[in-house]
Structure 1
Amino acid sequence: MEFTMSGRLEVRLTPADVGKRVSVRRILGAPGEGAQFTDTVGVLTSWDNGVLSVTTKNGEGVRIAESSLVAGKEVPPAPARRRGPAASFGELALVTARAWQPVESELLGEWRLRAAAGFTRRANSVLPLGDPGPTLGEALGHVKRWYAERGLPARVQTATGAEGTQERLCAGLEEHGWRREVTAEVRIAALAPVGDLDPDISAVRTGREMDDAWLSRYQRFETPGPHVLEVLGSGPSVWFASVPGDGPAEPPAAIGRCVVDGRWAGFMAVEVGPEYRRRGLATAVMTALARRALDEGASAAWLQMETDNEGARALYDGMGFTTHHRYHHFRPGGGAGSRDAGSA
């Protein structure tokens, strides 16, 4: 029921508000002079036995004792971005998935199980865009068996922080003992401004095929197997870019990959050799790829970036990219794991 904790602050929430975006304030420690408070904003994912669970936009599940509440209310969705294309989570989830296609997949209800011999979490995790059919516990049991048969760790990819994302699924995974392994951001921008940048792109080579030189700069594996080539070559319309190194036997100074899919152009694998950094090569690669995508009729851009990559954040901020939502990979038990080949 609703109740008042003080003369001014009210808890205007009930268990019927589960699934809504809320803001709650709770007291830390004992009440009294000098008491400290903390605020949590996110989706109310459960309220059972005197304990609330709120999942934040970063995918963190916060458990809050009802007795510690000082204030709480429903809050509107985050304000719409003031720049960049309009996009729903559902649209972006499918577009980003098509850029990292697995070698094999299987449907479990509306969940898609994906595998590619371990190359990239994105191609080796469950994409859960609806109801798996059985109970969540039964579905997760099937997921663990399916990946174990392939010698792979079981992972489920979820999203938070936008309308229609999967905060309640995140909470359900945690209740079943699954833990977040890594978190990344999906960022979007208008494509034309990227193509309108004016770096020197005369040295940037673009084409439909990746070669051994390109792969030598993409250092996410020791020896690329056929599954790597299949994943990197997958997508509706794939472009590769490279900038030659200083010598003919040297790996490229910089590389990039772009997948054009309708109005969207996805940028990935943008890498610059340490000895070539701060020369504007990442910008040149992205500009050259953006112009290829514009020629195909694309108008919007997306990319995925791990949250702790501050260098990439500064680069993409300058190009107009803003965070649309965050995505997470959950694994059974344990906490953050080591990063595997292909990263997030």
Structure 2
Amino acid sequence: MRFSTLTRGLLALTLIASTAAAASLQQITTNFGSNPTNVGFYIYIPASVTANPAVIVAMHYCTGTAQAYFSGTQYATLADQHGFIVIYPNAPTSGGCWDVASTATLTHNAGGDSLGIASMVRYTISTYGADASRIFMTGTSSGAMMTNVLAGSYPDLFVAGAAFSGVPYGCFAGSSAWNSQCATGELIKTAQEWGDEVRAGYPGYTGARPRLQMWHGTVDTTLYYQNLIEENKEWSNVLGVTWTKNNTNTPDPNYTQMIYGDGTKYVAYSAVGVGHTVPVHESAVLDWFGITGSLFPGGGTSTSSTAPTSTTTTAVTSTTSAAAGGTIPKWGQCGGISWTGSGTCAAGSTCTYSNAYYSQCL
């Protein structure tokens, strides 16, 4: 299996020197609920935890561990500052990858790694008095894939998520742990097809859906950039929003923020020239979760969206060249369904059709 390819660009995460956390990472070994695949349960409780704290589930990459993600990201240090709890699940497979493929993990309360993680969340709410309205999830690579899975399988538990270099919910579905068609960006579906797949993960569910923030590098050759385009189609359909505008150089130079609707339900970040994976932007994640500040373009506090009762989309033909009206930077969007921008691609790039929903200056 090709798990080893997912290590590219990830070793740096274990080498980042993070500020020492005030408390220590604890393993929960008592029975915390249904855990059919024996996912490891590690938790960080800061010395000064707030009353009814928020919870962030932080999920590692392939070949990673709960300890590596604890040490290689800043979430524990930020928990010391803001008083929230961090759950660090540990994948049970020898390769350290999450089960994002089985029917069980893709289905609400049916099994797989996702059920073990859901049980950790329920245990933490019950045992530590955590605020059930402030449960969040994030992850890198395989952990980003699991973020997508949890958003589809357990929308009743999570309020928001942030995924760094993942794939859409259901993209890896099948009997094999690795899906080359998905990984190389060759699994293309309509927004409606992707949305229907998410809704099938929890049949009959009509409650709130988590707001989502996606990050992906344009030159990712492990989980290709096309996966961000497919995520955009999938979750914009599920959340009932359409693309509104792009903000260039946000939050960093050569990043593009793609805003859907008013930006309080779904945003995506395209990182030009970045491979696998996009560096974790903890401060932007905490802003998105509402723990600190606000990155929402409309300002104010976001609330979770409600699943739309109608998710029909109107098919239109994507443009193959942008209209006059300014310069669109390389890798920027230049056409597609609901695209209302204008301009011409920067010198050296051409507006290239990807699918009916997205054309890009390449």
TM-score, normalised with respect to structure 2: 0.28
Rg larger in 1 or in 2? 1
The structure carrying a bigger strand percent of its residues is 1
TM-score, normalised with respect to structure 1: 0.29
